[in-house]
Amino acid sequence: MTTPFPFTAVVGQDDLRLALLLNAVSPAVGGVLVRGEKGTAKSTAVRALSALLPEVAVVPGCRFSCDPASPDPSCPDGPHEAGLGAHRPARMVELPVGASEDRLVGALDIERALAEGVKAFEPGLLADAHRGILYVDEVNLLHDHLVDLLLDAAAMGASYVEREGVSVRHAARFLLVGTMNPEEGELRPQLLDRFGLTVEVAASREPDQRVEVVRRRLAYDDDPAGFAARWAGEEAAVRQRIVAARELLPQVRLGDGALRQIAATCAAFEVDGMRADIVMARTATALAAWAGRTDVLAEDVRQAALLALPHRRRRNPFDAPGLDEDKLDRTLEEFSGESPDDDPDPDGPGGGGGGPAPDAGPQGGGDTGARPEEGDGGEPQPSGAGAGEQPAARAAEPFRTKALSVPGIGEGAAGRRSRARTEHGRTTGARRPRGALTKLHLAATVQAAAPHQRARGRSGPGLVIRRDDLRQAAREGREGNLVLFVVDASGSMAARQRMSAVKGAVLSLLLDAYQRRDKVGLVTFRGSAADVALPPTSSVDAAAARLESLPTGGRTPLAAGLLKAHEVLRVERLRDPARRALVVVVTDGRATGGPEPVALAGRAARLFAAEQVASVVVDCESGPVRLGLAGQLAAELGGTAVTLDELRADAIAGLVKDVQGTSRRAA
């Protein structure tokens, strides 16, 4: 067995270590979500924690780790009689990103259940993690329905597996730890809220601390056992402190004053629902037990807020994470009911005071007052770096967009945009199973078995079902797509003061892509070339940040933009062939950059049509006289064109409202 890196040897990361320890003391806190860049000891700290947890007593031979002192009465391996059991170390179970639902919750053998009446259940990772740690690295890349399943199990302390009326329940109480790199995409707010605590981690910028990290890591790699032995004393002390805090936890008193501070803090930061209040109460109680106290103090409430609230304040993916600590202190002082001398100590237990950074305000976007000069005789001509470039304009207020989708039926990752054959969705038919049967189509199975009953010796009621009769349900749901934005940033867009509206439209489409579980990419073209401003990614907030700082100016190399987008799609198709693409070209349709710009743009567009790539042109042309070039481009792409106004989901409703209002005034 590999010797884990000692928990007490992790340099810095005080908030991360404290959050993990609080969950070890009180699993009811609800787990930890660790957000941070790669190489910041996230995985190391989680694996190290498992070695600190006390051993657990289990019923010998039970695959579900039942406690011999109080065995689960509904355990599939039961019933068990209470008594002495064997002891084993607490487990840390890792859930891989590509895991299936059956791997997570377990698999019921439907074939044996139907044919033999045997409830044959193979436990999944939730059963393995019972009374230990379930670790999900890159939890933001996990399918949403799997995240829902494991969070439901963590909240209820049990896992349920149901297949065609046959159900199995088993206990599943574990410390849930998820790690993620925000650059790879965010978790959705409803899933963020299900994690009890969150911690932002980053590599230290202090040279001395970085030196110590490298020194300890090299020493560990040279001699893991010897390095662990040097920290054995500190590890034993922390392990004993966890045991003592667990024993003290039931005696901790959460007074009305602390509860009032918790409620006031959650109200002041406008968090949704009541889960934040409950998590803060449990966290503050665990903090008091960890400090060896039986009373919850204001410093416990403050530290609980820093750990439990930042991720619950985000209403959309573009909100900056963090908590305003000055506002937190003012709220706690206002509702303290005690003298100002009792202010929370920022250096509280666990090396506190180091919560996430306060709100930093909007990112990017310079002075939006600057506008292109009117009457400049057309597009600025590029003449070196920055020539003809206009200051970046801020995006207009985002709006709800009309639904855009890819025609046909795909088989990509689960999402909410285009039709697809999926494991979850409405049943559209039946087929013979390919491999293990997962979703039984009962009617089709009965229909397949019925003609053979006399040959199988069945003359009375009942049905003899054999393996060849089983039919898998074919389901149709929705998939996520790659939405590749190709944005015209030339002078023709800026000179008419339209870039603010254009950015607002693209930002609206990015929000739509976030809600529909898409990947996004951003190609821009201006001057004499096109650039990949953002390679395809799941991080729509990264796309929004690039969009915000997008400069404009120069000619319109439309052909270069389309060819660059075509290359991006070619590479992405090799990486993820099942994910279909939707190309959104945001332009007025002009082509002025390079030799024979119009002819080259037409040939580039016809490449997309030949490959049947779904495309939409957002027509940004304005003014009383319009050339209709965007519509021509859409025809050559084999796609459709919409104006900025038509892109709004409420465009038709607004038109109807205007007509009704006119009719009432006329009457």
Q: Where is average pLDDT lowest: 244-253, 414-423, 567-576?
A: 414-423
- Residue 629 pLDDT: 92
Between residues 624 and 132, the one the model is more confident about: 132
Q: Give domain status of residue 78, yes or no.
A: no
Residue 328 and residue 254 share a domain: yes
Residue 493 and residue 465 share a domain: no
Say how far apart CA 544 and CA 503 lie, in whole Å.
9
Task: Supply the DSSP string of 169-188, one letter for each residue.
Answer: EEE---EEEEEE-GGG-PPP
CATH of the domain at 638: 3.40.50.410
Say how far apart CA 464 and CA 457 lie, in whole Å.
9
Q: Which residue has the tokens 């075509």?
A: 566
Q: Give domain status of residue 68, yes or no.
A: no
Residue 492 and residue 473 share a domain: no
Say how far apart CA 518 and CA 505 lie, in whole Å.
17
Q: Give domain status of residue 231, yes or no.
A: no
Q: How far is CA 574 from the centre of its chain?
A: 24
- Residue pair 194/141 in contact by the 8 Å Cβ criterion: no
pLDDT > 90 in the chain, percent: 35
Name the range with the highest mean pLDDT among 224-228, 366-370, 442-446. Answer: 224-228
Residue 558 and residue 527 share a domain: yes
Q: Give domain status of residue 609, yes or no.
A: yes
Q: What angle do CA 650, 420, 181 make, to 5 degrees?
A: 80
pTM, 2 dp: 0.69
Tell which of 478, 497, 528 closes a domain.
478
CATH of the domain at 131: 3.40.50.300
Residue 12 and residue 120 share a domain: yes
Q: Give domain status of residue 14, yes or no.
A: yes
Question: Beta strands 106-108 and 121-123: pairing type?
Answer: antiparallel
Residue 565 and residue 473 share a domain: no
pLDDT band at 142; cut points 50, 70, 90: confident
Helix (H, G, I), strand (E, B) or coil at 168: strand
Q: Give domain status of residue 541, yes or no.
A: yes
Mean of pLDDT over the chain: 82
pLDDT > 70 in the chain, percent: 84
Residue 551 and residue 531 share a domain: yes
Say how far apart CA 70 and CA 64 lie, in whole Å.
13
Cα–Cα distances (Å) from 629 to 44, 585, 600, 617, 634, in that order, read 56, 13, 14, 10, 9
Tokens of 273: 């629902």
Q: Of 103, 246, 260, 275, which one is the catalytic site residue?
A: 275
Q: Give domain status of residue 148, yes or no.
A: yes
Phi, then psi, of 197 in degrees rounded to 5: -125, 160
Q: How many domains does the chain have?
A: 4
Say how far apart CA 595 and CA 101 lie, in whole Å.
55
Q: How far is CA 144 from the centre of its chain?
A: 8
pLDDT band at 361; cut points 50, 70, 90: very low
Say how far apart CA 25 and CA 35 lie, in whole Å.
22
Between residues 516 and 497, the one the model is more confident about: 516
Helix (H, G, I), strand (E, B) or coil at 41: coil
CATH of the domain at 323: 1.10.8.80
- Residue pair 474/427 in contact by the 8 Å Cβ criterion: yes
Residue 503 and residue 465 share a domain: no
350 has a pLDDT exceeding 60: no
- Residue 348 pLDDT: 44
Say how far apart CA 292 and CA 150 lie, in whole Å.
32
Helix (H, G, I), strand (E, B) or coil at 342: helix
Q: Give domain status of residue 360, yes or no.
A: no
Give residue 297's domain range.
Answer: 250-342
- Give mean pLDDT, residues 613-634: 88
Residue 618 and residue 495 share a domain: yes
- Give mean pLDDT, residues 226-247: 93
The pLDDT tens digits for 277-308 are 999 999 999 999 999 999 999 999 999 999 99
DSSP 398: P
- Residue 100 pLDDT: 80
The β-bridge partners of 485 are 522, 584
Say how far apart CA 530 and CA 535 lie, in whole Å.
13
215 is catalytic: no
- Give mean pLDDT, residues 92-115: 78
Tell which of 456, 478, 500 closes a domain.
478
- Residue pair 536/573 in contact by the 8 Å Cβ criterion: no
The pLDDT tens digits for 637-661 are 999 999 988 998 765 444 334 444 4
- Residue 500 pLDDT: 85
Residue 424 and residue 525 share a domain: no
Q: Where is average pLDDT lowest: 211-220, 311-320, 628-637?
A: 311-320
What count of other Cβ atoms lies within 10 Å of the Cβ of residue 606? Answer: 14
Tell which of 172, 201, 230 closes a domain.
201
Residue 463 and residue 529 share a domain: no
- Residue 656 pLDDT: 39
Say how far apart CA 105 and CA 498 lie, in whole Å.
52
CA dihedral 635→636→640→643, nearest 10 degrees, is -80
Sign of CA pseudo-dihedral 223, 226, 232, 234: negative
- Give mean pLDDT, residues 126-141: 88
The β-bridge partners of 584 are 485, 616
- Residue 389 pLDDT: 59
Tokens of 287: 């903090």
Say how far apart CA 480 and CA 420 lie, in whole Å.
9
Residue 185 and residue 155 share a domain: yes
Q: Where is average pLDDT lowest: 166-175, 178-187, 443-452, 544-553?
A: 178-187
- Residue pair 331/264 in contact by the 8 Å Cβ criterion: yes
